[in-house]
């Protein structure tokens, strides 16, 4: 008999349901008697004891369903050890609920912040197995996170659609792709969509280099330019600011986002009108792509196996084409960023893509 608590935390993504289904199918398939406690809306459910008892049937028919049947929310790690507004010790509350329900383990699906809290719970003596979800693909210890490929598909579709209208009108278009700290999604969608310029947080851009590229294309007879910009793209000037001054600048809200600032700077410097498209949360929505369905199912199955073997304290990840278990203490608090020297960046440059550097 296994008693499993399960929760999905942080921004949602495609294939969360597929991953949970993978875990449960594996346990049920082993003919184990399982009790599944689905905590609602992420860590909140565990803190306040909000859960639903689930059976294998609840996980039937959800392989292709986007979102999460458990709901999700952000419970920032930064304040997890602070009491809530009623003075409740949140970490203690999570431990108490875990012990009260006599759980054997928690299965936690999430990204960076979620993994910091999962590691804290492990340090506090709870059995934890985690699964790497995020459209940002920025979790350390895994080459891939589920949700990423589906989001690449959505962002690429957006760039594809912009391409045809940009070509008709001979315009410069910016498509803003999700990713505040890392540029994996922008880089991959940008390359897949044939963007001419890709701006990501890891490579601060020089606006004059961006304009040079646009003008070079026009000189060579191209009527339009597509710029894929990550939410967190940053100019060389801004990258040189202190953290405090940069935050102050962002707080002034002169522009809704970095793309509008880039568009305005191009207009001011060249008189060209630039159009901005922000697909936003559509990138996290809809049905998971086939890759993510298979990938999340595989991760879920391996997580189920770890639970059956009584191996806890790991994230199930993917390294060099193998599913691996990575100690949680190695994952927590680290970001997997795009190195400006990564071979994918070099290859993109060989193709003539400008990074504004
Ligand atoms: O963590 C995934 C992510 O979609 C990021 O790419 C994006 O910057 C952020 O979440 C958006 O967060 P929220 O849904 O809280 O607006």
Other Cβ atoms less than 10 A from the Cβ of 306: the count is 19
Cα–Cα distances in angstroms (integers) from residue 282 to residues 142, 274, 313, in the given order:
24, 22, 33
- C-beta of 22 in contact with ligand 1 (< 6 A): no
Structure tokens at 75: 């419970």
Cα 225 to averaged position of ligand 1 atoms, centre (Å): 27
Task: State the distance from the centre of ligand 1 to the C-alpha of 273, rounded, in angstroms.
Answer: 28
> Does 138 sit in the ligand 1 pocket, CB within 6 Å?
no
**DSSP H helical segments within 201-274, as ranges?**
207-219, 236-239, 243-251, 258-270
Q: Closest by alpha carbon to 9, among 39, 51, 52? A: 39
Does the pTM of the predicted model rise above 0.85?
yes
**Of ligand 1's atoms, which has the minimum distance to the CA of residue 112?**
1
Please name which of 120, 149, 121, 119 lies closest in space to residue 134, comparing C-alpha atoms: 149
Domains, the chain: 2-147+288-331 (3.40.50.450), 149-284 (3.40.50.460)
Quote the ligand 1 centre to 240 CA distance (angstroms).
Answer: 25
Q: For the chain, how big is the Rg over CA atoms in Å?
A: 22
Determine which residue's CA is closest to atom 13 belonging to ligand 1: 11
- Is 176 close to ligand 1, i.e. is its CB under 6 Å away? no
Does residue 179 have its Cβ closer than 6 Å to ligand 1?
Answer: yes
Gap between the Cα atoms of 349 and 205, Å rounded: 14
| CB 114 near ligand 1, within 6 Å | no
Assign 303 to helix, strand or coil.
helix
Query: Distance (Å, rounded) from C-alpha 209 to C-alpha 217?
Result: 12
pLDDT tens string, the chain, 357 residues long: the values are: 899 999 999 999 999 999 999 999 999 999 879 999 999 999 999 999 999 999 999 999 999 999 999 999 999 999 999 999 999 999 999 999 999 999 999 999 999 999 999 999 999 999 999 999 999 999 999 999 999 999 999 999 999 999 999 999 989 999 999 999 999 999 999 999 999 999 999 999 999 999 999 999 999 999 999 999 999 999 999 999 999 999 898 898 899 999 999 999 999 999 998 999 999 999 999 999 999 999 999 999 999 999 999 999 999 999 999 999 999 999 999 999 999 999 999 999 999 999 999
Output the CA 179–ligand 1 centroid distance in Å.
Answer: 7
Question: Which atom, in ligand 1's list, is nearest to the CA of 185?
Answer: 6
DSSP string, 137-192: --BTT-S--BTHHHHHHHHHHHHHHHHHHHHHHT-EEEEEES-SS--HHHHHHHHH
Residues 138, 335 contacting (CB under 8 angstroms):
yes
Q: What is the DSSP string of 90-108?
A: HHHHHHHHHHHTT-SEEEE
Ligand 1 pocket test target in 178, 259, 335 with most atoms within 8 Å of CB:
178
Locate the ligand 1 atom nearest the alpha carbon of residue 136 and give its number: 6
Using alpha carbons, select from 123, 40, 39 the residue that is nearest to residue 77: 123
Atom 2 of ligand 1: nearest residue by CA position? 11
The residues assigned a catalytic role are 136
Alpha-carbon gap, residue 301 to 182, rounded angstroms: 28
């Amino acid at each position: 008999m296994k008693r499993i608590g399960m929760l999905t935390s942080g921004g949602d993504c495609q294939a969360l349901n597929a991953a949970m289904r993978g875990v449960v199918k594996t346990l049920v398939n082993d003919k184990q008697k399982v009790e599944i406690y689905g905590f609602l809306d992420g860590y909140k459910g565990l803190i306040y004891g909000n859960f639903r008892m689930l059976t294998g049937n609840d996980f039937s028919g959800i392989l292709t369903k986007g979102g999460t049947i458990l709901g999700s929310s952000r419970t920032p790690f930064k304040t997890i050890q602070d009491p809530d507004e009623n003075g409740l010790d949140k970490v203690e509350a999570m431990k108490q609920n875990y012990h009260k329900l006599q759980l054997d383990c928690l299965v936690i699906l999430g990204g960076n912040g979620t993994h910091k809290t999962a590691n804290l719970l492990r340090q506090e003596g709870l059995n934890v197995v985690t699964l790497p979800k995020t459209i940002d693909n920025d979790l350390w210890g895994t080459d891939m996170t589920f949700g990423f490929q589906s989001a690449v598909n959505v962002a690429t579709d957006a760039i594809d659609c912009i391409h045809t209208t940009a070509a008709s009108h001979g315009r410069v278009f910016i498509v803003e792709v999700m990713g505040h700290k890392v540029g994996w999604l922008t880089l991959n969608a940008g390359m897949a969509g044939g963007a001419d310029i890709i701006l990501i947080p890891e490579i601060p851009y020089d606006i004059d280099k961006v304009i040079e590229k646009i003008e070079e294309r026009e000189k060579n007879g191209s009527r339009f330019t597509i710029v894929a910009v990550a939410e967190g793209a940053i100019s060389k000037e801004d990258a040189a600011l202190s953290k405090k001054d940069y935050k102050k600048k962002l707080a002034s809200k002169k522009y809704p986002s970095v793309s509008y600032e880039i568009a305005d700077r191009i207009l001011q410097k060249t008189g060209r009108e630039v159009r901005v498209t922000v697909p936003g949360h559509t990138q996290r929505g809809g049905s998971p792509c086939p890759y993510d369905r298979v990938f999340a199912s595989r991760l879920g199955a391996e997580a189920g196996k770890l639970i059956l073997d009584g191996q806890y304290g790991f994230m199930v990840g993917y390294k060099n084409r193998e599913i691996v278990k990575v100690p949680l203490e190695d994952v927590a608090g680290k970001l997997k960023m795009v190195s400006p020297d990564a071979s994918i960046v070099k290859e993109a440059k060989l193709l003539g893509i400008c990074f504004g550097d």
